[in-house]
Chains A and B, each alone.
Chain A
Amino acid sequence: AQSVTQLGSHVSVSEGALVLLRCNYSSSVPPYLFWYVQYPNQGLQLLLKYTTGATLVKGINGFEAEFKKSETSFHLTKPSAHMSDAAEYFCAVSDGGATNKLIFGTGTLLAVQP
């Protein structure tokens, strides 16, 4: 069975500071990994994904994540936070099979302080 753990339900950073949102996964097969962002009262928008190949994945809005198999991690980072980054972020895993079902973490709410 697959699972996702997001450490820290709330993270607060200052504008211009590094953003680090943690995600660890459990999977018995090579995983497909995703980060989604949800702005207030909106649906989920794909930030980035890892399927195969290069382990450092770049996404939209300056975010990137690195797949580390040895640590079963897929942490999300951004060098410099912007006020517009304030949102909830979800890490998710799938087995990439025919059904492609996603298992989500419980989310991390990012606050950006001026």
Chain B
Amino acid sequence: IAGITQAPTSQILAAGRRMTLRCTQDMRHNAMYWYRQDLGLGLRLIHYSNTAGTTGKGEVPDGYSVSRANTDDFPLTLASAVPSQTSVYFCASSDGATQYFGPGTRLTVL
């Protein structure tokens, strides 16, 4: 059982470029989430999706967009990356009681 996979593992990106972080789960969970982790700030919710076809904004949504075309995939897009989006990004899915996390994507925006 793979659980949650994220791609790429890491990426260096020039400011202004568009980037999509991929997230796929094989647990058939309805809810999925994107967090960013920054030193001293813990994890902060960017966007979430309660079920396929619906999305919602979290605590820090500006500069990010998501889509949920099906149950398994929940990509996160940075339309025009800025250095402040340098972070580690985690995708998670939930069975309704517990969130399960992917291994993360380390993104550096120069």
Q: Are A44 and B40 in contact (CB under 8 A)?
A: no
Q: Given contacts A32-B97, A51-B97, is CB(A90)–CB(B43) below 8 Å? A: yes
Our count of residue pairs bridging A and B at CB distance below 8 angstroms stands at: 54
Q: Given contacts A44-B90, A98-B50, is CB(A107)–CB(B42) below 8 Å? A: yes
User: Is B53 interfacial (CB 8 A cutoff)?
Assistant: no
* Closest residue of B by beta carbon distance from A49: B98
CB-defined contacts of B56 to chain A, threshold 8 Å = 99
Interface of A is mostly: loop
Q: Are A104 and B98 in contact (CB under 8 A)?
A: no
- Least CB distance from A35 to B in Å reads 12
Pairs A–B under 8 Å by Cβ, sample size 11: A42-B103, A43-B90, A45-B101, A99-B50, A100-B97, A100-B99, A101-B33, A101-B48, A106-B40, A106-B41, A106-B42
- Residues of B near any A CB (own CB < 8 A): 4, 31, 33, 35, 40-45, 48, 50, 56, 58, 90, 92, 94, 96-104
